[in-house]
Amino acid sequence: MTIQTAPASLAPSEEAADQPIEIRKFDAPLGAEVIGLDLSKPLSKADFARIHRAHLDHHVLVFRDQRITPDEQVAFSKRFGPLQIHVLHQFGLAGHPEVLIVSNIVENGKPIGLGDAGHFWHSDLSYKDKPSLGSLLHAQELPAIGGDTLFANQHLAWDALPAHLRNAVEGRVAEHTYLAKYAELQQRSPWRPNLSAEQIAQVRPVTHPIVRTHPETGRRALFVSEHFTTRVIGVPEDESRALLAELFAHSTRPEFIYRHQWRERDMVFWDNRSVMHLAAGTPDDQRRKLYRTTIEGDAPF
Please give the backbone phi and psi of residue 192, each rounded to the nearest 5 degrees, phi first.
-120, 90
**Sign of the dihedral defined by the CA atoms of residues 222, 3, 72, 94, in that order:** negative
How far apart are alpha carbons 139 and 117 in whole angstroms? 14
Instruction: Tell me if residue 284 is catalytic.
Output: no
Strands (E), the chain: 2-3, 22-25, 32-35, 60-63, 83-84, 92-93, 96-103, 106-107, 110-111, 132-141, 149-153, 173-176, 206-209, 211-213, 220-222, 229-232, 257-260, 267-271, 275-279, 289-296
124 tagged catalytic: yes
Which one of 122, 138, 155, 288 is the catalytic residue?
A: 122
Cβ-based neighbours of 73, under 8 Å, separated by 6 or more: 39, 99, 136, 138, 267, 291, 293
* Of 96, 192, 260, 292, catalytic: 292
Antiparallel, parallel or unpaired: β 32-35 and 60-63: parallel
Question: Active-site residue among 116, 124, 266, 271?
Answer: 124
d(CA 219, CA 289): 34
Whether 138 is catalytic is no
Do 121 and 252 touch, CB atoms closer than 8 A?
yes
3-state DSSP assignment of residue 234 = coil
- Catalytic residue ranges: 122, 124, 277, 292
